[in-house]
Amino acid sequence: MRLDILTCLPELFDGPMNQSIVRRSMDKGLVEIEIHNIRDYSNHKQKSVDDYAFGGGAGMVLTIEPIDNCITALRKKRNYDEVIYLTPDGKTLNQGIANGLSLKQNMILLCGHYKGVDQRVRDHLVTREISIGDYVLSGGELAAMVLADALIRLVPGVLNDESSALTDSFQDNLLAPPVYSRPAEYKGWKVPDILLSGHEARIEAWRHDQSVELTKKKRPDLLDE
Ligand code: ADE
């Protein structure tokens, strides 16, 4: 999988995209991430990327030209399966959407800022719009990182234990069962006996029951889907 992320704030990606699973996936050659500063594609003397909104109103708008220049330059190098704009009015991200996108090869993630982007970017250059929830962030960068993380961990080979992405909460629309580790008893708080029994089939059945019960209690809406 290759992700090209377009942003006016590339330095925001330094930490999160260089740690842990994301870092390892890149080191293993399974995932490539390139961050592009939209400013580098501006034809203006001052390298500006935003301007006032036609018709007036508060807030600056990201202009189409640098974004189009950047996307055009990338498209000359390879084909892209999706150009995704992160925006609070996009389709809300869930595990099903992440699963579908994790099968794609090359994607561009466009981070908005200020009041948004020129509508023509959305109409003509973007193929999908995704939100990470019903709240407004100050830019699409954190949303792009959330989406990238959710996708990368689904790429085969990224997680050490192949089955572990499949047993996550939300796969099968069920929440994950509780997990325990040593010691078997701590301050009198005990690990359920079944998990110490060594009986694999019964443990599996117990975990499934726990998943169903937890989902009924905490997220009954998932069972209706
Ligand atoms: N940009 C600002 N808020 C956002 C959100 N909730 N999801 C995706 N992109 C955003």
Name the closest-CA residue to atom 5, ligand 1.
Answer: 88
> Does residue 145's CB lie within 6 angstroms of at least one atom of ligand 1?
no
Name the closest-CA residue to atom 9, ligand 1.
Answer: 87
The predicted-structure confidence for 199-208, as pLDDT tens digits, reads as follows 999 999 999 9
Look up residue 106 and give its two tokens: 């090359």
**Cα–Cα distances in Å, from 81 out to 1, 50, 86, 92, 106?**
11, 27, 16, 19, 6
Residue 170 pLDDT more than 90? Answer: no
> Does residue 86's CB lie within 6 angstroms of at least one atom of ligand 1?
yes
C-beta separation of 91 from 130 below 8 A: yes
Q: Which helix (H) or strand (E) holds 124?
A: helix 119-124
Task: Locate the ligand 1 atom nearest the alpha carbon of residue 136 and give its number.
Answer: 3
pLDDT of residue 20: 85
pTM: 0.93
Euclidean distance between CA atoms 155 and 103, whole angstroms: 8
CB-count burial class (<10 Å; 0-12, 13-18, 19+) for 23 = middle
pLDDT of residue 5: 98
